[in-house]
Amino acid sequence: MPTPFVMLCCVWAFAWNGVDLKDARAETDKVRVWEMQEILLEAKGEYENPYLEVLCWIDLQGPGFSKRIYGFWDGGAAFKVRFVATAPGNWSWESGSNQTEDSGLNGHGGSLQAKAWSEREKRENPNRRGFVKASENGHALEYADGTPYFMLGDTWLAGSTWRLPFRHAATSPEYVPGPGIGFEDAVQYRKGQGFNSVSMIAAFPNWEADLNPSTYADENGIYVRNAWEKFHYDVSEGRGTDASGGLSYWGTFTAKNMRDERGNLPFALSEEHPGVSNFNRLNPQFFQSLDRKMGYLSEVGFVPLLETVRRDVGPSWNAYFDFNETFARYYQYLISRYGAYNLLFSGIHLDWVPEDFSLSADQFNQALIYHRETYGPPPFEQLCTALIDRATHTTLGQGEQVPWLDMHSVGNKPRDHRVGENLEVQFAIEPPKPTINFEPYYTGWLHEINKPGGEEPPPNSARDVYFSRAQMYGSVLSGGLSGHVHGTAAYDITTTGEPAGARPHIWDALQYRSAEYMAPLQDFVLSEGKRYQELAPATASIEPRKAPGAPEDGLDGWSYMMRTEDASFALLYFENEAARATLSGLEPNARYRWRWYDPRRGQWLEMRELRSNEDGEIKAPTFPEGADVAVGDWAAKVLLR
């Protein structure tokens, strides 16, 4: 019998033509910490469905580390296990599987010596600082070495597909988004604006530009999808009807195609149920395309949010398959394939919970609990969260109800002042966990849930951009110290070769001015270094919190404050038309320094000194334009002298 083929690949050498998997059998003493390593095992047995039949792993040992790392099937006889060394020193591994007689999968081992990065090398790529985790107090995010990580994300939900193709080509520093845009182009453009993350859904099963409407049920009345529509594609005139014989729930359009650059689908199609994916037949080639994008994001220092699927695939998945088991297997496949990258996992994209074309929040939660009980958490401890409708604690629950949830979130509805209430509640939940707004006001999106105070400003207008900026600062200063995820109307990525419709082309939306305010947001919050992690919501200490007549469902007239427990440091944000306020809860008879910050220009104004009264109150200065009512929005920092 020939010797089984086992290779350790150091995935640290990248080229413009994609990932260069380097045979490192002679270089096992030269790997770096937090750099993805890959072991290739070639099965000797023959399996009718390797995705379903084979579970392989390595038992990994290293300094302060002893865990089982599951692998994944990558097509043919190839099984791979990806891992990282989390600390310098000696590491060893031994392979195993549930197919105990397969000599290609079991009983192999190896060792390596991991070396630390220098500080200079860490500055070149912050992912070399280690995977993102919760801060010591649980309220913010930081790299493994303790350096703050403040997420500045963008929403590219279809970025995993052909809509942003990986071009294997360098991008000019002067690149301006336009037709023909590729994944690298978009990433570098956002990186130049200070972003450090993008949110993507890993796969869109059941979505296809076919003769069925974007939302339709099959002959059994089971909804197959509730997809984003393909614009200007009419499937009426007797075609594309739903089970009742009528047109699509949303109209006559078919769905957007969500294949990869090579035309691959994430799963084979069911032979028994037309239009439905066979969730027992995964297609590794689709995820090989996603590999290139995930590797590229790692190399440029991004920490993406990777989501499993959008909720509309749930009804058919649950109706025709063992949902808990097959969903858990798919989620574990993503964790095995991408769990050696610095990222956040989203267990489900649950932006809405409609009765017809979604499973309930509890059904998704039970599947995610089943996954955790079956496979355990990600071995390298990346945080798991969910992009959610309203708030994780209201939609899914908290504490023991969601044992897999490491990070709270809010999103989608409402997209106005009321989102801050949920963020403040989440900040106070014990034990503390980081929280963030994953779906705030979207620039340029003309939709009924994206109308603060009933307004629908023209895309990229000053008012449109202001609403986006107000959600940035208001969300963070309501307790979302993890950062902020920006969004535009092009979350679906209408792209090259397609006409725009209800949502713009991605290259137009990338140039909306709202993105320019994300980096200044980070500069403001981190202006005192890690001290921002000690802040807590203190909006009850602002009087008036709401200007007279300021709407509950708008983004005008409100003020926000977070303050440290010892009252030595505070950050504030005043929306357009906010009233000059009095701050309470400060050190009595103390000298404080007040400094205005212009969020529109990202500039600090001159410092001035104020003194609190015997009750620990300070009357805020007039706004920089000299008025008692803000003309435009302003931020401020207050420091005990």
Q: In the numeric block, which tokens belong to residue 173?
A: 């520093």
Position 72 pLDDT exceeds 70: yes
What would the pLDDT profile of 487-500 be if each residue is shown by its tens digit? 999 999 999 999 99
What would the pLDDT profile of 371-430 be if each residue is shown by its tens digit? 999 999 999 999 999 999 999 999 999 999 999 999 999 999 999 999 999 999 999 999
Confidence of residue 8 (pLDDT cuts 50, 70, 90): low
Position 215 pLDDT exceeds 50: yes
Q: Which of 9-18, 517-526, 608-617 has the lowest mean pLDDT?
A: 9-18
Q: Which of 235-249, 595-609, 626-640 has the lowest mean pLDDT?
A: 235-249
pLDDT at position 1? 32
Tell which residue, 107, 48, 39, 135, has the closest CA to residue 79: 39
pLDDT at position 211? 87
Confidence of residue 622 (pLDDT cuts 50, 70, 90): very high
Gap between the Cα atoms of 437 and 182, Å rounded:
27
Gap between the Cα atoms of 461 and 440, Å rounded:
17
- 46 burial type by CB count under 10 A (0-12 exposed, 13-18 middle, 19+ buried): exposed
Position 23 pLDDT exceeds 60: no
pLDDT at position 240? 37
For residues 35-56, average pLDDT = 98
pLDDT at position 246? 38
pLDDT at position 251? 56
- pLDDT over 70, % of the chain: 92
Gap between the Cα atoms of 38 and 80, Å rounded:
7
- pLDDT over 90, % of the chain: 91
What would the pLDDT profile of 163-192 be if each residue is shown by its tens digit? 999 999 999 999 999 999 999 999 999 999
Confidence of residue 243 (pLDDT cuts 50, 70, 90): very low
Q: In the numeric block, which tokens belong to residue 407?
A: 């990070």
Strand, helix or coil at 32? Answer: strand
Mean pLDDT for the chain overall: 93
Gap between the Cα atoms of 322 and 83, Å rounded:
29
DSSP 33: T
Position 236 pLDDT exceeds 60: no
C-alpha gyration radius of the chain? 25
Position 237 pLDDT exceeds 60: no
By DSSP bridging, strand 109-115 and strand 31-32 are: parallel
pLDDT at position 97? 98
pTM here?
0.94
Per-residue burial over 102-119, b = 16 or more CB atoms within 10 Å of its CB, e = otherwise: bebbbebebebebebbee
pLDDT at position 234? 57
Cis peptide before 414 (omega within 30 of 0): yes
pLDDT at position 160? 98
Confidence of residue 24 (pLDDT cuts 50, 70, 90): very low
Gap between the Cα atoms of 442 and 421, Å rounded:
19
Q: Which of 19-28, 77-86, 217-226 has the lowest mean pLDDT?
A: 19-28
Residue 640 makes CB contacts below 8 A (sequence gap 6+) with: 567, 568, 569, 586, 587, 590, 591, 592
What would the pLDDT profile of 554-581 be if each residue is shown by its tens digit? 999 999 999 999 999 999 999 999 999 9
Cis peptide before 431 (omega within 30 of 0): yes
pLDDT at position 29? 53
pLDDT at position 252? 56
